[in-house]
Structure 1
Amino acid sequence: MPAAVTDEQNRLDHEALLDAAEKLFYENGIQAVGMDQLRAASGLSLKRIYRFFAAKDDLVVAMLKRRDQRWRGSLATYVERVQDPRERVLSIFDWLAGWFAEPGFRGCAWINAHGEVGPGSAAVLAEVRAHKQAFHEQIEAWVRAAGSAATEPVYLLAEGAIVTAGINGDPAPARQAREAVAALLGRP
């Protein structure tokens, strides 16, 4: 009889699967990645994968949730190092520029997921909407702290920069959006 799988092994296997899914889905697209590719990349058997996630959509949702925590956490850490509230808002776009310039940048994982499976998967659509709402709330807090009511334009400029950079493969939209937000906020 095989040894029982420990909680630690379950945690490690779960993380390995999410790592593999995030890499493959982001690089290739959700629909293009089959379960055999996930098996090979994670080193887990299909039986083990299905014990963690009964359906591919469940794996997509878990991957997006985990990515959301890291992505928004990284953004918050970067922005909140800046003392001046106006500069904090502008630093959102500095962080975006750095992300856009990373090797392998392929745009927004949530927009990509929505484009592929969101409309046909209530769970994926809900996760995409949850991420976008949480990102909006982050921006709203920083914009209000800067004494501005321009949350919607700042949010839309950030989202537009993300989509444009993903399509063009160029980090310039972050700088352009930053300039537009600086004009919206007025000069210090």
Structure 2
Amino acid sequence: MNGNFAIMHDIPGRLRIIIPPLGDNKDYEKMEEMFASLSGVKKVRIEPIIRSMLIEYDLELMERKVLLGYISLFFEKTWCDPIDNLMGKVTPSIRKDLFRSVISGFLLLLAFTRKSVRPRPDIIDYAVVISTGYTVLSHGNQGQNKLGHPDIITGIITMLSLGTQNILQVSFVTWAVNLFEIFYDMYRTKAV
């Protein structure tokens, strides 16, 4: 048994394999077409409920070992599978928003750890403000009214209440609301 599949029966020219990752991919017709396009493969049938694949092949044109190699390569697990399981259903625009937010969060963390060493604003503090502002303003659809977003409203209210001398705290609160808004977008699109 390979880590990605188990051979259920192996008759020369006919192979039935149970493939647990088969349930993760829903485009079975394209998968069948892809494997059927291999030289020597006569027929491919996928049974998604039991996560199996039946392959009929010509012994003179396709070796069993080569066919199993193709299957293993196609269903190979990678080190980022847990991330893929979470992010696989997320739309590209939400992925971009989340990536920008993670970068801004990292810069915020860096700025706060340096704040005790350097009480005056430096280049990192300005980078945090710019990064957080860009993250917040670029979030969401381009045609939307940006002033109606909770993260922008929070940033304006926080800036007015804390003042510009506490810009890192303003950036942090705005960033946190933006992150919650991104997670809400993920939940709303049924990604999580």
TM superposition score normalised by structure 2: 0.27
Of structures 1 and 2, the one with the larger relative CO (CA 8 A, separation 6+) is 1
Larger relative helix fraction: 1
